[in-house]
Amino acid sequence: MQSILNNKKLILASGSPRRQELLEYSGIIPFDKRVKEIDEIFSPDMDITQVASFLAREKAMVFDDIAEDEVYITADTIVICEGKIYGKPKDKVDAIKILTALSGIEHTVITGVCLRSASETYVFDDISRVKIADITSEEIEYYIDTCKPFDKAGSYGIQDWLGVCKVEYIYGSYSNIMGMPMQKVYEELKGFCA
Protein backbone atom coordinates (compact mmCIF):
# COMPACT_ATOMS: atom_id res chain seq x y z
CA MET A 1 0.00 0.00 0.00
CA GLN A 2 2.97 2.30 -0.53
CA SER A 3 0.86 3.99 -3.23
CA ILE A 4 -1.26 5.87 -0.64
CA LEU A 5 1.89 7.74 0.40
CA ASN A 6 2.24 9.30 -3.06
CA ASN A 7 6.04 8.77 -3.13
CA LYS A 8 6.47 10.17 0.38
CA LYS A 9 8.69 8.44 2.96
CA LEU A 10 6.80 7.53 6.11
CA ILE A 11 8.65 7.94 9.42
CA LEU A 12 7.17 6.30 12.50
CA ALA A 13 8.36 8.45 15.39
CA SER A 14 7.42 5.97 18.10
CA GLY A 15 9.26 3.27 19.98
CA SER A 16 6.06 1.25 20.46
CA PRO A 17 6.36 -2.25 19.02
CA ARG A 18 2.55 -2.40 18.73
CA ARG A 19 2.43 0.70 16.53
CA GLN A 20 5.16 -0.75 14.35
CA GLU A 21 3.23 -4.04 14.04
CA LEU A 22 0.02 -2.22 13.15
CA LEU A 23 1.72 -0.26 10.37
CA GLU A 24 3.27 -3.48 9.07
CA TYR A 25 -0.10 -5.30 9.16
CA SER A 26 -1.71 -2.42 7.27
CA GLY A 27 0.69 -2.81 4.37
CA ILE A 28 1.84 0.81 4.67
CA ILE A 29 5.47 -0.10 4.14
CA PRO A 30 8.30 0.47 3.98
CA PHE A 31 8.66 2.99 6.77
CA ASP A 32 11.55 4.15 8.89
CA LYS A 33 11.62 4.58 12.66
CA ARG A 34 13.04 7.63 14.40
CA VAL A 35 12.40 8.27 18.04
CA LYS A 36 13.09 11.25 20.26
CA GLU A 37 11.88 10.96 23.83
CA ILE A 38 9.89 13.80 25.36
CA ASP A 39 8.60 14.48 28.83
CA GLU A 40 4.90 13.72 28.57
CA ILE A 41 3.80 16.80 30.47
CA PHE A 42 0.51 18.64 30.05
CA SER A 43 -1.34 21.33 31.95
CA PRO A 44 -3.57 20.04 34.76
CA ASP A 45 -6.18 22.52 33.48
CA MET A 46 -6.32 20.82 30.07
CA ASP A 47 -9.52 19.00 29.08
CA ILE A 48 -8.49 15.37 29.63
CA THR A 49 -10.05 14.33 26.32
CA GLN A 50 -7.49 16.57 24.56
CA VAL A 51 -4.37 15.22 26.29
CA ALA A 52 -3.61 12.39 23.83
CA SER A 53 -3.80 14.73 20.82
CA PHE A 54 -1.71 17.36 22.60
CA LEU A 55 1.02 14.83 23.44
CA ALA A 56 0.99 13.34 19.93
CA ARG A 57 1.57 16.84 18.54
CA GLU A 58 4.33 17.53 21.07
CA LYS A 59 6.08 14.30 20.02
CA ALA A 60 6.01 15.45 16.38
CA MET A 61 7.21 18.98 17.06
CA VAL A 62 10.63 17.86 18.37
CA PHE A 63 11.63 17.00 14.80
CA ASP A 64 12.93 20.11 13.02
CA ASP A 65 14.84 18.46 10.20
CA ILE A 66 11.97 17.06 8.13
CA ALA A 67 12.81 16.58 4.45
CA GLU A 68 10.36 17.63 1.74
CA ASP A 69 9.49 14.02 0.90
CA GLU A 70 9.00 12.82 4.52
CA VAL A 71 5.85 12.39 6.59
CA TYR A 72 6.23 11.77 10.31
CA ILE A 73 3.58 9.98 12.32
CA THR A 74 3.43 10.17 16.12
CA ALA A 75 0.81 8.94 18.56
CA ASP A 76 -0.10 8.92 22.22
CA THR A 77 -2.64 6.70 23.97
CA ILE A 78 -4.33 7.38 27.29
CA VAL A 79 -6.91 5.55 29.36
CA ILE A 80 -9.59 7.55 31.17
CA CYS A 81 -11.71 6.05 33.94
CA GLU A 82 -14.05 8.00 36.16
CA GLY A 83 -12.46 11.31 35.17
CA LYS A 84 -8.87 10.23 35.80
CA ILE A 85 -6.10 9.62 33.27
CA TYR A 86 -4.15 6.39 33.53
CA GLY A 87 -0.92 6.35 31.57
CA LYS A 88 1.90 3.82 31.75
CA PRO A 89 2.45 2.40 35.24
CA LYS A 90 5.55 3.48 37.14
CA ASP A 91 6.11 0.00 38.59
CA LYS A 92 4.29 -3.18 39.64
CA VAL A 93 2.57 -1.51 42.60
CA ASP A 94 1.23 1.21 40.31
CA ALA A 95 0.11 -1.38 37.74
CA ILE A 96 -1.83 -3.22 40.46
CA LYS A 97 -3.53 0.03 41.52
CA ILE A 98 -4.48 0.88 37.94
CA LEU A 99 -5.88 -2.55 37.09
CA THR A 100 -7.79 -2.62 40.37
CA ALA A 101 -9.33 0.76 39.44
CA LEU A 102 -10.33 -0.52 35.97
CA SER A 103 -11.77 -3.80 37.24
CA GLY A 104 -15.46 -4.13 36.45
CA ILE A 105 -15.78 -0.58 35.08
CA GLU A 106 -16.09 0.74 31.55
CA HIS A 107 -13.28 3.07 30.59
CA THR A 108 -12.31 5.17 27.58
CA VAL A 109 -9.20 4.77 25.45
CA ILE A 110 -8.15 7.79 23.38
CA THR A 111 -5.29 7.76 20.91
CA GLY A 112 -4.12 11.05 19.47
CA VAL A 113 -2.23 10.94 16.18
CA CYS A 114 -0.14 13.64 14.52
CA LEU A 115 0.93 13.67 10.87
CA ARG A 116 3.72 16.14 10.15
CA SER A 117 5.51 17.10 6.97
CA ALA A 118 7.95 19.93 6.25
CA SER A 119 5.02 22.25 5.56
CA GLU A 120 1.98 20.90 7.40
CA THR A 121 0.88 19.46 10.76
CA TYR A 122 -2.41 17.63 11.22
CA VAL A 123 -3.73 16.11 14.46
CA PHE A 124 -6.72 13.82 15.01
CA ASP A 125 -7.84 11.26 17.55
CA ASP A 126 -10.02 8.22 18.01
CA ILE A 127 -12.04 7.06 21.00
CA SER A 128 -12.93 3.52 22.08
CA ARG A 129 -14.80 2.26 25.12
CA VAL A 130 -13.76 -0.91 26.92
CA LYS A 131 -15.34 -2.88 29.76
CA ILE A 132 -13.05 -5.16 31.72
CA ALA A 133 -14.76 -7.80 33.85
CA ASP A 134 -14.03 -7.99 37.55
CA ILE A 135 -10.42 -9.05 38.06
CA THR A 136 -9.28 -10.82 41.20
CA SER A 137 -6.04 -9.84 42.89
CA GLU A 138 -4.59 -13.24 41.88
CA GLU A 139 -5.48 -12.58 38.24
CA ILE A 140 -3.91 -9.14 38.39
CA GLU A 141 -0.69 -10.59 39.85
CA TYR A 142 -0.65 -13.35 37.21
CA TYR A 143 -1.24 -10.87 34.41
CA ILE A 144 1.45 -8.44 35.50
CA ASP A 145 3.99 -11.20 36.13
CA THR A 146 3.42 -12.92 32.78
CA CYS A 147 2.65 -10.01 30.43
CA LYS A 148 4.75 -7.20 31.98
CA PRO A 149 2.43 -4.35 30.90
CA PHE A 150 4.75 -1.56 32.06
CA ASP A 151 4.92 0.16 28.65
CA LYS A 152 1.15 0.27 28.17
CA ALA A 153 -1.36 2.98 29.04
CA GLY A 154 -3.80 1.66 31.62
CA SER A 155 -1.38 -1.18 32.47
CA TYR A 156 -2.82 -3.58 29.91
CA GLY A 157 -2.63 -4.64 26.30
CA ILE A 158 -5.87 -5.50 24.55
CA GLN A 159 -3.99 -8.09 22.47
CA ASP A 160 -2.66 -10.13 25.41
CA TRP A 161 -4.11 -12.27 28.25
CA LEU A 162 -6.24 -9.58 29.83
CA GLY A 163 -7.75 -8.60 26.48
CA VAL A 164 -8.48 -12.20 25.58
CA CYS A 165 -9.80 -13.42 28.93
CA LYS A 166 -11.20 -10.42 30.79
CA VAL A 167 -12.61 -7.88 28.32
CA GLU A 168 -16.41 -8.02 28.26
CA TYR A 169 -16.92 -5.61 25.36
CA ILE A 170 -15.35 -3.00 23.12
CA TYR A 171 -17.10 -0.12 21.36
CA GLY A 172 -14.89 1.39 18.72
CA SER A 173 -11.60 0.55 17.09
CA TYR A 174 -9.60 -2.42 18.39
CA SER A 175 -6.39 -1.06 16.88
CA ASN A 176 -7.03 2.26 18.64
CA ILE A 177 -6.83 0.40 21.95
CA MET A 178 -3.54 -1.18 20.79
CA GLY A 179 -2.14 2.31 20.20
CA MET A 180 -2.99 3.44 16.67
CA PRO A 181 -6.47 3.71 15.08
CA MET A 182 -5.49 2.20 11.74
CA GLN A 183 -8.74 2.79 9.85
CA LYS A 184 -8.48 6.53 10.55
CA VAL A 185 -4.70 6.56 10.05
CA TYR A 186 -5.08 4.90 6.65
CA GLU A 187 -7.73 7.37 5.48
CA GLU A 188 -5.98 10.44 6.91
CA LEU A 189 -2.64 9.45 5.39
CA LYS A 190 -4.28 9.19 1.96
CA GLY A 191 -5.53 12.74 2.27
CA PHE A 192 -2.37 14.12 3.87
CA CYS A 193 -0.10 12.67 1.18
CA ALA A 194 -2.34 13.52 -1.77
Amino acid at 193: C
CB 130 within 8 A of CB 106: yes
- Count CB atoms within 10 A of the CB of residue 106: 14
Alpha-carbon distance 72 to 129, whole Å?
Answer: 27
**Beta carbons within 8 Å of 186's beta carbon, 6+ residues apart:** 1, 4, 26, 28
- Exactly one of 76, 91, 125, 134 is catalytic; which is it? 76
Identify whether 76 is a catalytic site residue: yes
Residues classed as catalytic: 76
